[in-house]
Amino acid sequence: MITKIKFTMKYCSLCGAGVDLVVPPGDHLERHVCLACGQIHYQNPKVVTGAIVEHQGQLLLCRRAIEPRYGLWTIPAGFMENGETTAEAALRETWEEAQARVALSGLYGLYSLPFASQVYVIYRGELVDDGKSPPFFPGPESLEVELVDPEEIPWEELAFSVVESALRHYCDKSNSGDLSIHEAVITSPRSSNRPGD
Ligand SMILES: [Zn+2]
């Protein structure tokens, strides 16, 4: 089943003429098609990558300094840039948001968010602490960055339900030795702890 999402587009980004919403020949979904140059403007999901970063049994969490979800907690994650690999993007986001150098140890989870047309690719990694510089520090997108014990994860103050899903699974299986990839479908944007907020 495909979740219907309305993206609005009025003008062709190539030539500036108006666009129409039609099903192109051979296709099965409506696309914005330029009335002048014929360009078909496909709109597809965006990929978000991030990392669950561990250090001596604790996890690295960031408190967001930007909207959406200003002031709430998350793992380092963000949209991929063109030309990056998913792992490069996860490392870049971890650096930008937490100024943390991390050694990724593998893929942790894959999450479909059809309501947002997003896919989350979450890695697992270890903080690299050289003993000289601070191992982490809030980047411009974070109010604070902390290592927290799994028992002290602020479930009531997590920014996104996808982060809650990944962390709950992490806590449930952290002692089991299960290294299989966690796959889940996330159906709403907010943590279940904050209904309607
Ligand atoms: Zn055009």
Q: Which of 96, 93, 68 is nearest to 80 (CA)?
A: 93
pLDDT in tens, 99-125: 999 999 999 999 999 999 999 999 999
In the reported structure, the alpha carbon of residue 43 is separated from the centroid of ligand 1 by a whole-number distance in angstroms of 15
Which residues in the chain come in under a pLDDT of 70? 1-7, 175, 191-197
C-alpha of residue 131 to centroid of ligand 1, in Å = 56
> How far, in Å, is the centroid of ligand 1 from the Cα of 9?
12
CA of 115 to the centre of ligand 1 (A): 29
* Cα-to-centroid distance, 38 and ligand 1 (Å): 6
Q: Where are the domains of the chain?
A: 8-43, 46-185
According to CATH, what is the number of the domain 46-185?
3.90.79.10
Strands, E, within 56-176: which ranges? 58-64, 73-74, 77-79, 102-113, 118-127, 142-148
Distance 21 CA to ligand 1 centre (A): 13
Sign of CA dihedral 104, 182, 97, 73: negative
Determine whether domain 8-43 maps to CATH 3.10.20.30: no
